[in-house]
Structure 1
Amino acid sequence: MNVPLSILDLSPISEGSDAPTALRNTVDLARHADRWGYRRYWLAEHHFVSVASSSPAVLIGQLAAATSRIQVGAAAVQLGYTTAVAVVESFGVLDALYPGRIDLGVGRSGQRRREAVSQDPSKASSSSTSPRVWHEVDGVVVPAPFDLSAMMRNPRLRARASVLQQPEANAPDFADQVADILAMIEGTYRVGDVEVRAVPGEGAALRPWVFGSSRGQSAQVAAKFGLPFVASYHITPATALEAVEVYRENFQPSTALSEPYVVVSADVVVADDTATARHLASSFAQWVHAIRAGDGAVPYPDPESTPPLTADQLEVVRDRTATQFVGDPDEVAHRLDALQRLSGADELVITSVTHRHADRLRSHELIATRWGLG
């Protein structure tokens, strides 16, 4: 029996379109996903780029109202740009209105960016223990790591990130923020000798999901607090499986979980035939290259008119294109099954971006049917 399948959505804005259309498309896809039998519908948090998922909590409320069964959540709230109480209260509201259907995903993207900015470039990748060569395990490609530190030090990204916090704000360490969130939900949070109660939020049926990409802090925090862990193979295929290993090796049972629970992500494009799927995915490389060139996600390119990348540009995105699952339903299901077996994932979450909304709907419908959802 296949593991549950879920969706991660960025509300991508296509070339020639706009944010309102992207948001309407997200609501439409969520409604379909609810009928097709997907377990969860998660929304990414991104800012100042051509995706419309900048405020997950607001959008989650809209999606929960538009659906009836599916879990809806964040993938993930960037804790470096907010406070624990703001997260608990906003998701406490959602849980009060849609009890038992809200997933609170948390990540340390803001903290990672600050660390990259302050890090000595000569030491940027020296701490990684990832394999430095490409290899394949049971049909799953594990590429060499791509160094994102230079991109994170880009002055344009630094300028944008600076307005996501109040001036001179100093975000606590990620582990401390997760501990605060748990304490507020449990009603045990204190500032010195003073009780501080989050309303709504305290007593909510919320269990944080920790999102991570490497064997670093996120995996260790999820293990320490006994929380479910989501490994981003679709963004960091070189290190996501290592993150799962670290999480499992260090897991400590909690009231939330008695044993590890792992979700692994994959980027997919499915069509009725392989040639069509490859055509629909043919502008993915240009989209990823724009992200890595330093300006962030551009409007998703139209494969009918997008010029090809140069050989040097293709090399910059080779790890992402090689690990995108593209093909007919059987081909993609086979690769998803291989990823699940290798990672031991309890659940898979897929993200799929195409220029036309109809093609994205069809991609999710085809793999849902092939996977046996519903």
Structure 2
Amino acid sequence: MTVPLSILDLAPIVSGGTVADALRRTLDLARRAEQFGYHRYWVAGHHLTPGVASSQPAVLLGQIAAVTEHIRLGSGAVQTGFLTPLAVLEQFGLLDALHPGRFDLGLGRSAQRRTSALDAPPERPTEPRVVDGLLIPRSFSFAPILRSARSALFAKLLQQPGAVPADLDTVVGDIETLRAGPYTDGLGNEARAVPGEGADLQVWILGSSGGESARVAGARGLPFAANYHVAPAKVLEAVEAYRAAFRPSAVLDRPRVMVSADVLVADDDDTARHLATPYGLWVRSVRTGAGAIPYPSVEEAAAHPWTPADRDLVADRVETQFVGSPQTVAERLETLRRVTGADELLVSTMTHDHADRVHSFELLAKLWHG
């Protein structure tokens, strides 16, 4: 295939499993991903989530770096509203000092996103359409979840009392200023990030719409990762906004886009569809605002009493998960690449059985890399 293929891992906890199991599986998968020829291995940053163990990307990436040799490693993403720019840079500066030149610092909005949702008017859902073979489903609004009492509780636990998250552009600017060093206040005082100053990092911004993240990435001339797997309805809006805002920088002379997708590959289409049975139930747990549950088994998912409302709640994610044989999934990924103009693809896979997840990535890599 024509573009690099990379992995996003949530370190999923499965039903009947433990956090320790999930983390050991992530380390094993990262080693296998390097052997299979994947370009990058990113870990997500999710907090207070029963079914996800990747709450601290920098800590987990240090463990992954110790068991791999050359694959690029990164965050997808550090949630900037819950850490100061200095804390973020110190974490990744430390990683770079120990394993030089291997890390991508992927940044995303988090507390900023909730703050915006509190003030935003209700979002009108868009209708589904197909663009040159790519399904752009009906949009889903996270605003009710972000406005919920549960979200307020999470914010209380994740932020210092009275803290007001800076806008994303300010955060990125402070990180870059500290990395270039020294950081000065204009009064003769200066501060240096140690470790962090001079760190050899690739800074990426992740976004799920054509809003602030896409615009900041473009205006600063940074690479941008658009989330088809999280918000498939808005992927074209996101990449178009990024490209419209793009200004050449010392980092890039033209836009660079990576697009994510949920995939599940098996030896044949029927087996893949069978293994993908739990995916809808897992998405439902996220969409109801309860937080991702431990990933169910096929048997547990098959026993769930689905209602029409349940199916409607998860339809956009289920319909845009790429499931099938290597050829089936590769063809759908190529459509995603063509329609979005992606320079790279980032794939995520969830299964209850670790061997099935490893096999999925292996099958896809063998076909993708020829």
Give the structure-1-normalised TM-score. 0.96
Distance 1:314 1:298 in 2: 17
Gap runs ≥5 in structure 2 = none
Equivalent in the alignment of 1:283? 278
1:173 aligned onto 2:167: yes
Q: How does 1:325-344 map to 2 (within 5 A)?
A: 325-344=322-341
Aligned to 1:24: 24
Secondary structure at 1:238 match in 2:
helix
Matched with 1:357 is 354
Match of 2:260, SS state, is strand
Report the 3-state secondary structure (helix = DSSP H, G, I; strand = E; otherwise coil) of the residue aligned with 2:60: helix
| Number of the residue aligned with 1:142 | 136
2:194 to 182, 199, 202: 199
> Aligned-residue CA RMSD in angstroms?
1.2
**1:189 corresponds to 2:180:** no
The more displaced of 264-273 and 134-143 is 134-143
Report deviation, 1:187.
1.2
Instruction: Determine what percentage of the aligned residue pairs are the same residue.
Output: 52
Give per-residue Cα distances to partners, 1:17-38, cap 9 Å, x unaligned: 0100000000000000000000
Equivalent runs, 1:310-321 vs 2, <5 Å: 310-321=307-318
Deviations 1:247-299 (A, max 9, x none): 11111111111111100000000000111100111111111111111111000
> Which residue, out of 244, 251, 274, partners 1:249?
244
Pair 1:88 & 2:89 matched: yes
Alignment counterpart, residue 366 of structure 2, candidates 357, 366, 369: 369
Partner of 2:38: 38
Cα distance in 2 for partners of 1:270, 1:231 equals: 22
Return structure 1 stretches of 4+ with deviation > 4 angstroms. none
Give 1:9's aligned amino acid. D
Counterpart pick for 2:206 among 200, 208, 211: 211
Counterpart in the other structure of 2:8: 8
Distance across 1 between alignment mates of 2:236 and 2:16: 37
Structure 2 counterpart of 1:298, one-letter code: I
Aligned amino acid, residue 268 of structure 1: V
The alpha-carbon deviation at position 188 of structure 1 amounts to: 4.7
Q: Which residue of 2 aligns with 1:62?
A: 63
| Secondary structure at the counterpart of residue 304 of structure 1 | helix
1:171 CA displacement: 1.7
> Any stretches of 5+ residues in structure 1 without a counterpart?
none
Write out per-residue CA displacement over residues 166-195 of structure 1, whole angstroms, 9 at most, x where no aligned residue: 111122111100110111111152234322
Say yes or no: does 1:106 pair with 2:100.
no
Q: Which residue of 2 aligns with 1:124?
A: 122
User: What's the secondary structure of 1:223's corresponding residue?
Assistant: helix
CA deviation profile, 1:211-249 (whole Å, cap 9, x unmatched): 001110000000111100000000000111211011111
Asked if structure 2 preserves the Cα contact closer than 8 Å seen for 1:45 and 1:55, the reply is yes
Q: Which amino acid aligns with 2:83?
A: T
Distance in 2 between residues matched to 1:37 and 1:207, nearest whole Å = 20
What amino acid is aligned across from residue 112 of structure 2 in structure 1? Q
Equivalent-residue separation in structure 2 for 1:2 and 1:262 (angstroms): 14
**Distance in 1 separating the partners of 2:155 and 2:367:** 41
Shift of 1:340: 0.3
Whether the 8 Å contact between 1:157 and 1:295 is mirrored in structure 2 is no
Q: Distance in 2 between matches of 1:54 and 1:205?
A: 24
Q: Give the residue type in structure 2 aligned to 1:212.
A: G
Matches of 2:278 and 2:155, distance apart in 1: 27
State the AA in 1 paired with 2:181: G
Once structures 1 and 2 are overlaid, which stretch shifts more, 106-115 or 83-92? 106-115
Counterparts of 2:267 and 2:230, CA distance in 1: 25
